[in-house]
C-alpha cells in the first residue's frame, strides 16, 4: 500500500513539475504568461528581449490574463497574438494631456508602435481612464503596414486608435470592435477596415481621416456597423480626406449630419488646406429607421469610377501592399557560385529551422545564412548548373516564410522563374 501511495505521489510531482516547465526560448516564438508558465510574465520583458534591430517575424504569444502595462514597440516584424480576444487584455489608464505634462519614454498610448509590419491579433487593448471626451489613446503608431485582426480597441476618450504616419502609413483591420469618443478611429494615410463594429460615446464624429499628403490616400470601410449615443455623427476631417463606405450599417441613433470638414471661422489661420474638396463615397449603406440622402450610392463620382468589387485592400493601398494575399515571396534571380547557391526573393525571408531544398535532378541544398534579408545562401551537396535549378524546388525541412505583415502565413514560392548569374 505504501509503495502504491509513493508511486502516485511521484507521478503527481512529475505532472506538477511538467506543468511548471517554461517554454523553450525560440527567437521566432515567445510566450508571455502571468502565471510564470511562459518565457516571460510581462509584455515589457518579452519586448525588451528582442534585438535592437529585428529582421525576421517574431510572434509573442500572450496567454489569457489582464496585463496592466503600456508598451512601446520599436522593432519591425513583431506579432502580438493573444490566446483569446475577450480574455487576453492589455490595459492601462493614460490621458494624453497627462503624458504631455510628464512624458515617459514609452508613449501616450497603451500600445505605442514605432516600427513597421506590426500585427496585433486576438486581443483586447483598453485605455481604462474614465473620462468621456479627452484624448486617450489605446493604440498610437507611426509605422506602416500595421494589421489588427479580431481585436477590441477600447477607450472612453478621443482618438482611440491613432495611426499617424501621414506620409506612407498603410493600415489593415478586420473583425474588430472600436469604441471611443471624438474621431476615435483616425488614420493618417491609407486605411482599410472590414467586418468591424464602431461605438461612439458622444454626439460627435466617430471617423476622421487625414489624406492631404498624397491625393490617393484613402480610408475604406467595408461591411462595418456603427452605433453610439443618440445623435452621434459619422465622420469629419481637418485635412484633405477621402472616405469610402461600402455595405455599411448605421443604427437609428446616427445623426443626419454628413461627413464634414472642420472650419475655424473665428480664426481662419487654423484652417487646413482643402485642395481636393469633399470626397465621401458610399455604396449600399443603410440606417435602421430610414436612410439619409447624403449616403446614397455615389461611387460613380469617385476618381476612376471604381466598381465595388474592385475596391480591395490592394486597390486601397495603390498596389503597394496586399495584406490578404496568400502568395509568398517569389524568386527574382539566382547566382551559382563554387559550391553554393544564392536565391534572391521579392521580400525579406524569415527562416525557421535549418531548411533543406532539393532540385528535381536530386541536388540537395542546405541553408547557410541570409535570414532576415532577401538573399538566402545554400550549400550544394555536389556540383550543379542552371539545369538543376529549373522548375519547382522542393523544401524538405525547415521553412522559408515571407516576413512582411500579412493576414496569412506565406511560405516562399520555390518555383524558380528567376534569371541566373553564373
User: pLDDT digits over 310-352, tens only?
Assistant: 999 999 999 999 999 999 999 999 999 999 999 999 999 999 9
Q: What is the per-residue pLDDT for 10?
A: 45
CA–CA distance, 209 with 190 (Å, rounded to integer): 9
Dmax over CA atoms of the chain, in Å, equals 91
Q: What is the per-residue pLDDT for 418?
A: 62
Average pLDDT, the chain: 93
Scored b (16 or more CB within 10 A) or e, 388-398 reads bbeeebebeee
Question: Which H or E run contains 117?
Answer: none
The total number of residues written for the chain in this structure: 422
User: pLDDT digits over 108-148, tens only?
Assistant: 999 999 999 999 999 999 999 999 999 999 999 999 999 99
Q: What is the per-residue pLDDT for 27?
A: 83
- Torsion, CA 178, CA 184, CA 188, CA 193, rounded to 10: 20
One DSSP character per residue, 208-227 reads E-B--SSTT--EEEES-EEE
The three three-digit cell numbers of residue 410, written as one number: 506565406
Q: Do the Cβ atoms of 220 and 198 come closer than 8 Å? A: no
Q: What is the per-residue pLDDT for 25?
A: 55
CA–CA distance, 355 with 376 (Å, rounded to integer): 11
Handedness of CA 411, 417, 419, 422 (dihedral sign): positive
Task: Provide Rg for the chain, Cα atoms.
Answer: 25
CA–CA distance, 181 with 118 (Å, rounded to integer): 25
For residue 109, what are the contacts with CB-CB under 8 A and spacing of at least 6? 70, 94, 127, 137, 138, 139, 140, 162
Domain positions in the chain are: 23-183, 187-324, 331-421
Scored b (16 or more CB within 10 A) or e, 261-288 reads eeeeeeeeeeebeeeeeebbbbbebebe
Q: What is the per-residue pLDDT for 422?
A: 61
Classify domain 23-183 at the CATH topology level: Pectate Lyase C-like (2.160.20)
What residue ranges of the chain have pLDDT lower than 70? Answer: 1-26, 418-422
Amino acid at each position: 500500500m505504501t509503495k502504491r501511495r509513493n508511486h502516485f505521489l511521484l507521478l503527481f510531482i512529475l505532472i506538477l513539475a511538467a506543468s511548471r516547465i517554461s517554454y523553450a526560448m525560440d527567437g521566432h516564438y515567445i510566450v508571455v504568461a502571468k502565471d510564470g508558465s511562459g518565457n516571460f510574465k510581462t509584455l515589457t520583458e518579452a519586448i525588451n528581449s528582442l534585438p535592437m534591430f529585428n529582421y525576421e517575424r517574431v510572434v509573442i504569444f500572450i496567454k489569457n490574463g489582464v496585463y496592466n502595462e503600456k508598451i512601446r514597440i520599436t522593432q519591425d516584424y513583431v506579432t502580438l497574438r493573444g490566446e483569446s480576444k475577450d480574455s487576453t487584455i492589455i490595459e492601462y489608464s493614460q490621458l494624453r494631456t497627462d503624458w504631455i505634462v510628464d512624458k515617459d519614454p514609452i508613449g501616450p498610448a497603451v500600445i505605442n508602435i514605432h516600427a513597421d509590419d506590426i500585427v496585433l491579433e486576438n486581443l483586447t487593448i483598453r485605455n481604462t481612464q474614465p473620462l468621456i471626451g479627452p484624448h486617450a489613446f489605446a493604440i498610437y503608431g507611426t509605422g506602416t503596414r500595421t494589421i489588427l485582426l479580431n481585436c477590441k480597441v477600447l477607450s472612453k476618450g478621443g482618438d482611440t486608435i491613432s495611426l499617424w504616419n501621414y506620409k506612407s502609413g498603410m493600415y489593415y483591420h478586420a473583425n474588430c470592435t472600436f469604441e471611443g469618443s471624438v474621431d476615435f478611429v483616425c488614420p493618417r494615410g491609407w486605411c482599410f477596415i472590414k467586418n468591424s463594429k464602431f461605438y461612439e460615446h458622444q454626439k460627435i464624429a466617430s471617423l476622421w481621416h487625414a489624406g492631404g499628403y498624397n491625393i490617393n490616400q484613402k480610408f475604406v470601410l467595408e461591411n462595418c456597423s456603427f452605433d453610439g449615443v443618440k445623435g452621434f455623427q459619422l465622420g469629419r476631417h481637418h485635412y484633405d480626406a477621402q472616405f469610402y463606405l461600402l455595405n455599411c450599417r448605421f443604427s437609428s441613433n446616427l445623426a443626419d449630419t454628413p461627413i464634414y470638414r472642420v472650419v475655424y471661422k473665428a480664426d481662419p489661420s487654423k484652417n487646413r488646406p482643402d485642395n481636393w474638396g469633399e470626397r465621401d463615397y458610399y455604396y449600399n449603406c443603410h440606417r435602421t429607421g430610414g436612410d439619409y440622402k447624403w449616403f446614397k450610392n455615389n461611387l460613380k463620382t469617385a476618381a476612376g469610377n471604381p466598381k465595388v468589387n474592385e475596391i480591395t485592400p490592394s486597390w486601397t493601398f495603390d498596389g503597394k501592399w496586399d495584406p490578404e494575399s496568400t502568395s509568398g515571396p517569389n524568386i527574382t534571380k539566382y547566382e551559382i557560385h563554387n559550391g553554393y547557391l544564392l536565391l534572391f526573393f521579392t521580400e525579406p525571408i524569415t527562416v525557421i529551422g535549418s531548411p533543406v531544398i532539393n532540385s528535381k535532378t536530386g541536388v540537395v541544398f542546405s541553408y547557410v545564412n541570409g535570414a532576415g534579408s532577401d538573399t538566402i545562401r545554400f550549400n550544394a551537396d555536389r556540383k550543379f548548373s542552371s539545369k538543376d535549378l529549373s522548375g519547382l524546388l522542393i523544401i524538405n525541412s525547415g521553412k522559408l516564410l515571407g516576413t512582411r505583415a500579412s493576414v496569412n502565413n506565406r511560405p516562399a514560392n520555390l518555383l524558380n522563374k528567376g534569371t541566373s548569374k553564373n
